Amino acid sequence: MFAILGLILGVGLGLFFAPTLPRELQPYLPIAIVAALDALFGGFRAWLDRTFTDRVFVVSFFSNVLIAALIVWVGDQIGVGSQLSTAVVVVLGIRIFTNAAAIRRALFRA
Amino acid sequence: MPEETLPIDPAPGEPVSSPSGDLPRRIWGAFIRPTRSHFLVAAVLLVCGLLVTLQVRGTAGDDTYSSLRRADLLQMMDDLDAQSQRLSTEIAQLQAVKQQLATGADKQRTAELEAQSRLASLQVLAGTVAVHGPGVRITIVDPAGKVTPQIILNALEEMRDAGAEVIEFNDSIRVVANTWVTQGPQGLIVDDQSLSLPITMDVIGEPHALDEAARFRGGLISQVQDSRIGGSVTLTTSDKIDVASLYKPKAAQFARPA
């Protein structure tokens, strides 16, 4: 319940205050979101597997986001930013699909 | 909630994936019984929602140009550059025009003032306005009716020579550039009007000079008071001579401005 409330509150805050991110951070936001989605799916799968730990979840969420942003940043510095962000999106996408498959199996046994 | 916080080692006998009948109850239990981990998850989801909202808003704002190709964007930028250049030239032109108009307005105002003063002096000269000023009033009494046009013309010339600006006969005839004097059957005629006796001349100018111009030997007074004519002249200087009669200018029939 609180999780749903938190999500709604986050969206509401984003809509209401409409804060603007500094220009330097804007390219990393999409990657950070994909990383966050990966962490969420992983957490849900762990919960279904009864291996969920809140500490692990929180740490993995933030480290995922930070590492994804960091990789893209490094890529930007060495001139392969767009390629590396594609790579990150692909890898995280694969992980999301894997997690989604596991969740589907746990929920529907199919 | 033990099944959430401990996990890596599930209790023996309990399968890792719960039976499907158990699952809705488990979700419902988690929903109504919040634990510490729920708050953490809520915080994480809050951050996540914030990020997604930011990104969605950010991309919704300016996806008009994001899908365009590099060449299109360059073309667009060139267009905008050219447009801004054109507009700044236009601004410069308009400012120049504005300045011209401002100085033109000044010039026009000066010209208007000048024209006003010229108009005033020309109106006095042409006899189309009533005027007043210092001058002399000359009354010629001529019981024998022997004053000739020549004497009147001489008097006019002398007055003009002494700086007369406006001359009027008998409070009714304004003397202008083309005023003429002649002898009619009943007496003198000035500008088609007969000059009744006694003749009065209102002259506006410097009073002392006008007085001298009438009194010199062989001038108006000595001519009229000569024994051949036998008239008399009275001359009074005044600080305020009123000339109210006007000359009606006629449109030139033959002369055209060059």
- The pLDDT tens digits for B124-144 are 888 888 888 898 888 888 877
**Domain CATH for B200:** 3.30.70.1880
Question: Out of A15, A36, A50, whose CB is closest to B16?
Answer: A50
B118, B137: one domain: no
Pick from B147, B239, B133, B246: which is nearest to B199 by CA? B147
Beta carbons of A48 and B17 less than 8 Å apart: yes
For residue B179, the enclosing domain spans: 130-243
Residue of chain A whose Cα is closest to the Cα of B16: A49
B86 in a structural domain: no
B112, B217: one domain: no
Dump pLDDT digits (tens) for B5-35: 434 444 444 444 444 557 777 777 777 776 7
pLDDT at B62: 60
Beta carbons of B42 and A3 less than 8 Å apart: yes
Q: How confident is the model at residue A2 (pLDDT cuts 50, 70, 90)?
A: low
pLDDT at B191: 82
B118, B171: one domain: no
B99 in a structural domain: yes
Q: Rounded mean pLDDT of chain B?
A: 80
B68 in a structural domain: no
CA atoms of A24 and B217, how far apart (whole Å) = 109
Name the percent of chain B lying above pLDDT 70. 88
pLDDT at B12: 41
Q: What is the model's pTM? A: 0.43
Name the percent of chain A lying above pLDDT 90. 8
Beta carbons of B7 and A30 less than 8 Å apart: no
Beta carbons of B41 and A6 less than 8 Å apart: yes
CA dist list (Å): B196 to A69, B96, B141, B169: 118, 66, 11, 10
Query: A with B: how many residue pairs have Cβ under 8 Å apart?
Result: 123
B191 in a structural domain: yes
Q: Residue range B50-69: average pLDDT? A: 72
B147, B174: one domain: yes
Mutation target for A interface from B3, B38, B48: give the one with most A CBs within 10 A: B48
**Contact residues on chain B for A51, CB-CB shorter than 8 A:** 7-8, 16
B107, B151: one domain: no
B26, B115: one domain: no
Q: How confident is the model at residue B198 (pLDDT cuts 50, 70, 90)?
A: confident
**pLDDT above 50 for A16:** yes
B99, B185: one domain: no
B251 in a structural domain: no
Report how far Cα A28 is from the mean position of its chain's Cα atoms.
Answer: 12
Query: What's the domain count of chain B?
Result: 3
pLDDT at B238: 86
B20 in a structural domain: yes
B110, B158: one domain: no
A-contacting residues in B 40-69 (Cβ below 8 Å): 40-55, 57-58
B78 in a structural domain: no
ipTM greater than 0.85: no
B16, B35: one domain: yes
- Give A51's DSSP letter: -
